[in-house]
Amino acid sequence: MVRCAGDPPYLILDSVIQLNHLTKRYGDTLAVDDLSFTVEPGHVTGFLGPNGAGKSTTMRLILGLDTPTSGEALVDGRPYTTMRRPMAQVGALLDAGAVHGGRTAYNHLLCLARTNDIGERRVAEVLDLVGLTGVARRRVGGFSLGMRQRLGIAAALLGDPRVLMFDEPVNGLDPDGVRWIRDLMRSLAAEGRTVLLSSHLMSEMALTADRIVIMGRGKLIAEATVEELTTRYPTLEDAYLALTAGSVQFGAAR
Amino acid sequence: MRAVVSSEWLKLRSVASTYYALGVAGLMVVLGVVWSVYVSGLADARGSVRAAAPEEGFLPLVQISLAVIGVLAVTAEHATGMIRTSLTVVPARGVLLFAKTAVVTAVTFAAATAVIMTTYAASRLVAGERRLGFNESSFAENVPTLLASALSVTVLAVVGLGLGAAIRSTAGALVSVVSLLFVLPGIANYLPAPWNTRIAALMLPNLTPQLTGERLSRRLGDGILPPWAALLALLAYAAVALGAGLYVLSKRDA
């Protein structure tokens, strides 16, 4: 079944991301409008929506970077900002560019690791995992977008968290990297972790995600499994275009 | 807290700007030696001179260059977006700002003390037995002034950190620091008496002489604050700037 906006959210479980009537207003703009949904463990949940739909804002609200105007975002049943060592619970990559370009990859990760008492051995492990060991002593300023994405994923994995959020991690990656991310996301979910993944690449999302949440103009448009959507529509892309048809704010006429 | 301080310490050590700022502060030693050689030459020609002490005359160089360390400790994070990564791993914003304050305080006090003491020693070595004015009192008599100078450098760096967190812009915070150090005291000088001395006595650079009971300048005469009040006023600058920084950091979306 396709759960639509207005229906009650799913059951409360461990290591879930739960949004209850989450609302964020910037001046006159309602970026997130009474958003309620739950992201459960064991799946890759694809987070879709047109540009400006409020996906990134929603992720920032979950991480406590922005304060909701009303409603709440909970991880494991508590607000993110109350966590003392959040890296062991939640890992997130929101913006691969949000690093100091003058720092080496190794020092960048070690700066983050130290805040949560994570040791140097784990830093070396995640560098190895994302394939950046060879450039660990190079400054991040010289990295390509793909390398920065890998560095951001390494940072998200540092604390071995149960909940992971990635905002457009595939951007800038080469075909090898795209497949690597797909396999990584699926293996993280198979280990029982909660994975929330946003992307605009529908074919990639169809291969990676099990469940889909679609947002438009700050509101929830649909919540369904990939299977349900591809049964009702020829492809995930067709499903996405049909469901978001009324919510596109920036784009050519179609 | 210890974990976050250790992370901030690594952040400071792992960027080149810190070393450039320390290098510029270290130029005081070179300038101090050049000055001492110059006035020694004058003294050899005339018998004796009354020259200003280089560790006091060149103090603004150290104040500005080390204030840059305080400013960049936070504004570099805003400029690169690193602040969002930092607040994701340390959601307690007060803890993050406190850790930055601790590290900036320790580093700038240690650096200022080292540079000022080295300049003091080098200039007295160059002066030898000549009578240059500044070298005619004992080290024990000079220690309070030397420590007061190092303290003023530290306070200015912490003020830079607090204003940086409040203004979120490197340029804006640096202009504010320069205003506190040069522009406002300059304006105070030209107020009608007795307000020039009264207002000037509260200006950041004029608190240093009042800490040790020295006069402000030939033009302004003696200060009006006893040493304990000058110390309180100095600490109040740091507290107000940090308070403003903490308020903005806590209340506004990152």
* Per-residue pLDDT tens digits for A196-232: 999 988 989 999 999 999 999 999 999 999 999 999 9
Share the mean pLDDT of chain B: 94
Residue A58 has pLDDT above 60, yes or no: yes
* Rounded CA separation B46/B40 (Å): 10
Same domain, A69 and A123: no
Any domain includes A86: no
Q: Do B80 and A83 touch (CB under 8 A)?
A: no
Q: Residues A72, A170: one domain? A: yes
Write down the pLDDT at residue A253: 58
Q: What is the pLDDT of residue A246?
A: 82
Asked whether the CA dihedral A229, A235, A240, A243 is positive or negative, the reply is: negative
Residues of chain A with pLDDT > 90, as a percent, come to 85
A72, pLDDT greater than 70: yes
Q: Name which of A78, A100, A137, A153 to mutate to probe chain B: the one with the most chain B Cβ atoms within 10 A of its Cβ.
A: A100
Q: Answer yes or no: do A117 and B88 touch at CB < 8 A.
A: no
Query: b or e along A70-105 (b: 16 or more beta carbons within 10 Å of the residue's beta carbon)?
Result: ebebbbbeeebeebeebbbbbbbbbbbebbbbbbbb
Residue A2 in this model has a pLDDT that exceeds 90: no
Higher-confidence position of B100 and A1:
B100
**Domain co-membership, A58 together with A144:** no
pLDDT, residue B93, reads 96
Q: In this structure, are A140 and A244 located in the same domain?
A: no
CATH code of A250's domain: 3.40.50.300
Q: Considering only the beta carbons, identify the residue of B15, B84, B88 that sits closest to A103.
A: B15
* A227 inside 8 A of chain B by CB: no
Q: Output the pLDDT for position B177.
A: 96
Statement to judge: residues A173 and A149 lie in one domain: no
CB A86, CB B89: distance < 8 Å = yes
Q: Which residues pair with A213 in a beta bridge?
A: A47, A223
Q: What is the pLDDT of residue A9?
A: 47
Shortest CA distance to A13 belongs to which of A158, A157, A193, A198? A193
Q: Which of B5, B69, B88 to mutate to test the interface with A (most CBs of A within 10 A)?
A: B88
Across the interface, whether the CB atoms of B89 and A104 are under 8 A apart is answered no
SS3 B253: coil
Residue ending a domain, among A160, A183, A208, is: A160
A149 shares its domain with A173: no
Residue A11 has pLDDT above 60, yes or no: no
Q: Decide if A46 is inside a domain.
A: yes
Domain-located, residue A168: yes
Residues B149 and B135: their CA atoms lie apart, in Å, by 17
Domain boundary among A135, A160, A185: A160
The Cα of A111 is separated from the nearest Cα of chain B by a number of Å equal to 5
Residue A191 resides in a domain: yes
**A221 closest CA partner among A2, A1, A25:** A2
Q: Do A169 and A234 fall within a single domain?
A: yes
The string of pLDDT tens digits covering residues A16-45 is 999 999 999 999 999 999 999 999 999 999
Query: Residue range A118-123: average pLDDT?
Result: 97
Element housing A194 (H / E): strand A194-198
Residue A149 vs residue B218, higher pLDDT: A149
What integer pLDDT is reported at residue A181 of this predicted model? 94
Question: Does residue A176 sit at the B interface (CB-CB below 8 Å)?
Answer: no
As a whole number, the mean pLDDT across chain A is 91
Q: Are residues A211 and A154 in the same domain?
A: no
Residue whose token pair is 């700002």: B97
Q: Is residue A94 part of a domain?
A: no
Q: Determine the structural domain holding residue A248 and report its residue range.
A: 1-81+161-254
Q: What is the pLDDT of residue A5?
A: 53
A197 φ, ψ to 5°? -130, 120
Strand partners, A220: A215
pLDDT category of residue A249 using cuts at 50, 70 and 90: confident
* Number of Cβ within a 10 Å radius of residue B195: 10
Judging contacts by C-beta atoms under 8 Å, the chain A residues touching residue B91 are 63-64, 80-83, 86
Same-domain pairing of A172 and A201: yes
Q: Does A29 touch chain B (CB under 8 A)?
A: no
What residues of chain B score a pLDDT lower than 50? none
Please name the residue of chain B whose CA is at the shortest distance from the CA of residue A66: B253
What are the backbone dihedrals phi and psi of residue A75, each rounded to the nearest 5 degrees, phi first? -120, 125
Size of interface A-B (CB pairs under 8 A): 84
The reply to whether A134 and A194 lie within a common domain is no
Measured in Å, how far apart are chain A's first and last C-alpha atoms? 28
* Total tally of structural domains belonging to chain A: 2
Distance from CA of A51 to the nearest CA of B (A): 21
For position B254, what pLDDT does the model report? Answer: 84
> How far, in Å, are A7, A60, B158 from residue A95 at the CA level?
32, 11, 29
Task: Tell me if A89 is assigned to some domain.
Answer: no
CB within 8 Å of chain B, chain A residues 118-137 = none
Note whether A167 and A182 are same-domain residues. Answer: yes
Q: What is the pLDDT of residue A10?
A: 46
Question: Does residue A87 form part of some domain?
Answer: no
* Residue B88 to residues A43, A86, A88, B91, B93, Cα–Cα distance (Å): 23, 8, 12, 6, 10
Angle between helices A175-190 and A145-157 (to 10 degrees): 10
**Is residue A88 one of the residues assigned to a domain?**
no
| A111–B10 CB contact, under 8 Å | yes
pLDDT for position A12: 47
Dist. CA A109–CA A158, nearest whole Å: 8
Does residue A6 register a pLDDT over 70?
A: no
Whether residue A220 sits in one domain with residue A176: yes
Interface test with A, best of B89, B90, B93 (most A CBs within 10 A): B89
Q: Do A94 and B88 touch (CB under 8 A)?
A: yes
Residue in chain B nearest A115 by alpha carbon: B4
User: Does B88 contact A67 at a Cβ distance shorter than 8 Å?
Assistant: no
Last residue of a domain, one of A125, A160, A195: A160
